[in-house]
């Protein structure tokens, strides 16, 4: 990432100048004790004070610049990764619904928070430990040897911290993900849990997951906290040890009095990055693991390949030996389905519960990758179109209807920022929902709430139908579109299907209630994931038993 490299170079240069400026305090102390006090020279003291003041001012400015660089670096990293992380989270949710799909978002947050904190400055300052140790060796070899030995002990503590926290940090992330999944499931089904008296059982699951997380967190904090305390106490002892060595050198006439104080300041500065690194090691380990996971999912996502623009589909849909498996499973539920639909046709997919009807609809929409076979529009596979372009020509009403937080108009318009009111109203009228929307408190500007919970199930389904019809898509996929509709809504659905086929669209409907079948041309009958028959309605329906359950 070029921005990251440039920022790190800038931070490295500012760290170099800062560490050189850190010598000013020890040099000032040594000159005061060795020259100013014995010579009783006030002008010299004032001159030294002016110089060290200027050094401290530049030091403060550089430290502030380095801090701002880290803040902007963390912001730039977040800005460059946010789109990929969001897209990958949606991809993981679609392909692996049983897993925590929001992990890429949290990983980006973890990396951003680490970069904006004190951890990177500690890592940048670590190589300068040797610089300060070398200065101490110039003052006297015994001083340098003492601090070097102490630095080696602190480095050993750092490595021990790495060994002690890596596995614990990974476990803590995993347990935190598990408890969040339990809480999210409980939140989404709170009404059902209350109505059926299940809150205590699910509460026990939450307490178990939260307890495991708490125990792991306490264990990890105890380990890292103990090592941080040991490092801090040892550094304080080492500073006293350096003073002792300096005093012995002065008593033996091998060093001046100013060396005692200068060596104390230099040793503190030399060891401070190591102690700071130990204190921030948990954050560093977590950020490193997050960065590694981000690298894995980025490679999983792959580089987007350039796609040749294709004209919108207008002629046909074909499934060629299509085999599909639900996300997270290897056993196909749809096996070798083949059929062709032409523009202006309406097709009903029928079959008993568990026949694979909804899975087939997801495969036709392109949201579920094929295990084998292909879905083609006008002879081209769906992967040959950019998804945002192809999505405009597909209207999809899933079995479980959930609207997005926003207004009715925004949901119908698929949240297009430049959606025209005329197109929104036209879609609503096609779905026969315009009058119902106008009766809402704020009409098209009514806020539907999270998942559309401020509306009834029938209202959500009819608005979702209008969303599927928005901008007259070529392929319209309706999975049980009348499951929550009253007779008026069913009549509007039949009218919408007929209007769509009349303008040349392909409509595919999964239905257990026969009212919509009056607008159907062909029927695909499924059983146990396989096609039993496909043909005109008048040929297939007399021998097809409709199941009133759900797939």
Alpha carbons 76 and 7: distance in angstroms, whole number: 10
Cβ atoms of 501 and 330 within 8 Å: the answer is: no
At residue 33, the pLDDT reads 77
Q: What are the Cα distances from residue 2, in Å, to 9, 80, 418, 446?
A: 11, 11, 34, 45
Alpha carbons 347 and 151: distance in angstroms, whole number: 76
Mean pLDDT, the chain, integer: 84
SS3 content of the chain, % helix, strand, coil (to 5): 65, 10, 25
- Nearest in space to 452 (alpha carbons), one of 435, 440, 438: 440
At residue 380, the pLDDT reads 93
pLDDT, tens digit, 9 for 90 and up, residues 357-371: 999 999 999 888 899
Alpha carbons 227 and 258: distance in angstroms, whole number: 33
pLDDT, tens digit, 9 for 90 and up, residues 251-279: 888 877 778 878 888 888 888 887 787 77
pLDDT, tens digit, 9 for 90 and up, residues 104-135: 888 888 888 888 887 888 888 888 888 888 88
Strands 334-342 and 475-479: unpaired
At residue 205, the pLDDT reads 84
3-state secondary structure of 520: coil
What the block records as the tokens of 392 is 């405009």
At residue 79, the pLDDT reads 83
Structural domains for the chain? 2-301 (1.20.1560.10), 316-540 (3.40.50.300)
Say which DSSP state 443 is in: G
Q: CB count, 10 Å around CB of 321? A: 12
What parts of the chain have a pLDDT lower than 70?
A: 1-4, 97-100, 188-189, 191-192, 194, 296-307, 328, 542-551
At residue 6, the pLDDT reads 74
Alpha carbons 18 and 283: distance in angstroms, whole number: 24
Residues β-bridged to residue 510: 349, 479
């Amino acid at each position: 990432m070029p921005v990251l490299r440039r920022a790190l170079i800038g931070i490295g240069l500012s760290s170099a100048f800062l560490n050189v400026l850190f010598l000013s305090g020890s040099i000032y102390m040594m000159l005061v004790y060795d020259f100013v006090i014995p010579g009783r020279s006030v002008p010299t003291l004032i001159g030294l004070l002016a110089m060290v003041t200027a050094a401290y001012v530049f030091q403060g400015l550089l430290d502030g610049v380095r801090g701002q660089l880290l803040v902007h670096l963390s912001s730039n990293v977040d800005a460059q990764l946010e789109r990929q992380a969001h897209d990958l989270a949606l991809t993981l949710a679609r392909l692996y619904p049983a897993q925590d799909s929001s992990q890429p978002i949290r990983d980006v947050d973890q990396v951003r928070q680490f970069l904006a904190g004190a951890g990177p400055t500690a890592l940048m300052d670590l190589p300068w430990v040797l610089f300060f140790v070398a200065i101490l060796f110039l003052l006297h070899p015994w001083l340098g040897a003492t601090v070097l030995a102490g630095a080696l002990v602190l480095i050993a503590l750092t490595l021990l911290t790495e060994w002690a926290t890596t596995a614990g940090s990974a476990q803590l992330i995993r347990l935190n993900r598990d408890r969040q999944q339990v809480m999210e499931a409980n939140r989404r089904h709170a009404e059902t849990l209350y109505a059926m008296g299940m809150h205590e059982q699910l509460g026990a699951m939450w307490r178990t997951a939260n307890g495991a997380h708490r125990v792991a967190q306490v264990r990890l904090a105890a380990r890292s906290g103990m090592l941080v305390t040991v490092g801090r106490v040892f550094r304080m002892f080492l500073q006293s040890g350096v003073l002792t060595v300096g005093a012995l050198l002065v008593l033996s006439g091998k060093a001046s009095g100013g060396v005692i104080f200068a060596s104390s300041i230099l040793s503190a500065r030399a060891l401070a990055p190591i102690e700071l690194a130990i204190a921030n090691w948990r954050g560093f380990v977590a950020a490193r693991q997050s960065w590694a996971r981000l690298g894995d999912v980025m490679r999983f996502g792959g580089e987007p390949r350039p796609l040749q623009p294709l004209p919108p589909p207008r002629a046909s849909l074909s499934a060629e030996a299509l085999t599909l498996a639900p996300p997270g499973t290897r056993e196909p539920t749809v096996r070798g389905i083949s059929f062709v639909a032409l523009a202006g046709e309406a097709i009903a997919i029928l079959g008993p519960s568990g026949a694979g009807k909804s899975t087939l609809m997801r495969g036709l929409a392109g949201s579920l990758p094929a295990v084998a076979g292909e879905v083609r529009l006008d002879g081209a596979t769906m992967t040959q179109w950019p998804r945002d372009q192809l999505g405009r020509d597909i209207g999809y009403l899933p079995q479980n209807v959930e609207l997005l937080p926003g207004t009715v108009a925004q949901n119908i318009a698929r949240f297009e920022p430049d959606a025209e009111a005329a197109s929104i109203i036209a879609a609503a009228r096609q779905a026969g929902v315009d009058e119902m929307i106008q009766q809402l408190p704020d009409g098209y500007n009514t806020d539907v709430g999270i998942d559309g919970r401020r509306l009834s199930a029938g209202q959500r389904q009819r608005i979702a139908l209008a969303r599927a019809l928005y901008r007259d898509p070529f392929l319209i996929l309706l999975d049980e579109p009348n499951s929550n509709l009253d007779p008026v809504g069913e009549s509007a659905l039949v009218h919408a299907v007929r209007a769509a086929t009349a303008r040349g669209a392909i409509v595919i409907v999964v239905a257990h209630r026969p009212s919509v079948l009056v607008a159907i041309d062909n029927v695909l009958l499924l059983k146990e994931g396989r096609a039993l028959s496909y043909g005109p309605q008048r040929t297939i329906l007399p021998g097809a038993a409709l199941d009133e359950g759900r797939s």
